[in-house]
Amino acid sequence: MAKPINLHDFRALAQRRLPKIAFDFIDGGADDELGMLRNREAFSSHQLLPRYLVDVTKRDQTVELFGRQYSSPIGISPTGMAGLFRTGADAMLAAAAKKANVPFLLSSASNLKIEEAARIAPDNVWFQMYVTSDPHINHDLVKRAKEANVGVLVITVDVPVNSNRERNRRNGFTRPFRMTPAIMLDALTKPSWVIEYLKAGGMPMMSNWQPYAKPGASADEVADMYGTLTPAPMTSWETIAAIRAQWTGPLVIKGLLHPDDATQAVSIGAQGIIVSNHGARQLDNVPSPLTMLPAIKAAVGDRVTLMLDSGVRRGSDVVVAKCLGAQSCIFGRPTLYAVAALGQDGADQALAIMHKEIDAVLTQIGCGEFNKLDSRYLQTPR
């Protein structure tokens, strides 16, 4: 493959470079992985209805989210442990988001500190956090995001328990993680990855959690500590309300699928909701976010900014989601594949490809302005 021409191509390139244990961590879902198929099938159940003989010489796909204007209605979903797949991947993704002027949702499970990410892309970094079982750590994470001048805080709420990701279990990618002979033998089949991994010192540090570990804790010890703090099944709406009281900026809740939960999020003061099923990595037998989007839009109306995550792979997917009520879409696996395969250039290319595809679709359907898309441009077979 001389050069990737769509997001699917990055997956193939990443599979060639990464050992199976690493590739499957990105690629896999929960249980039978049928939820991932439903996420994609949901988009194919809608067709775009073009209008021709419209002057589309000029196109505009800019969007305004929480008081900031972005160049495209896309963003990078939070993806933990990106540094395992490419040393410095989080910084590369932040830089790519800055270059493309789109949001980058830095995962709290990243290998890059909040403060460092905010310095790289101060206008583009949002901070995603998992609520932990320790209220003091929760408070400190929010405080650090605030002091780093992060624009948007995103709380992921769809991980009350570790999911059954069978690929990870079969490959031995579990906590506590130990490098077994079988894992090492497989890794040796991908020498370029192994060399980079060893040069970086082995397992990358989960830097956001290092301050809460014992002095001098290794990367494995910090990861194991993180595993004792999350998931936090005691998390409730009262927990979110306490964070809302502390955080003065825009608050986004990620991982909602039920319209009643969306209404509750609005009632506690959330300004945004990311309709998501975690890329079908948590619960396999679950509706696709796109399927639930119209009901959530009907429940919350224009009181909150709606975004969508899970299964987005094409510019046409973003257009379909907009027609159903989402103001923006984010995606994680494709940008991880891209940065793992080609580093900074891959991350840049992935976002540029999506921007180009959205522009082409807007032109083809006769709607030059992304913000003017609505259900009139959509045909959904009964």
- Positions marked active-site: 278
CB 126, CB 153: distance < 8 Å = yes
Query: What tokens were used for 225?
Result: 């500590």
**What is the DSSP track for 164-224?**
--HHHHHHT--SSP---HHHHHHHTTSHHHHHHHHHTTSSPP-GGGGGGSPTT--HHHHHH
d(CA 45, CA 217): 50
d(CA 74, CA 318): 8
Cis peptide before 122 (omega within 30 of 0): no
Please list the residues that pair with 106 across neighbouring strands: 127
Q: What number of CA atoms fall less than 13 Å from residue 329's CA on the CB side?
A: 30
Query: What tokens were used for 338?
Result: 């891209």
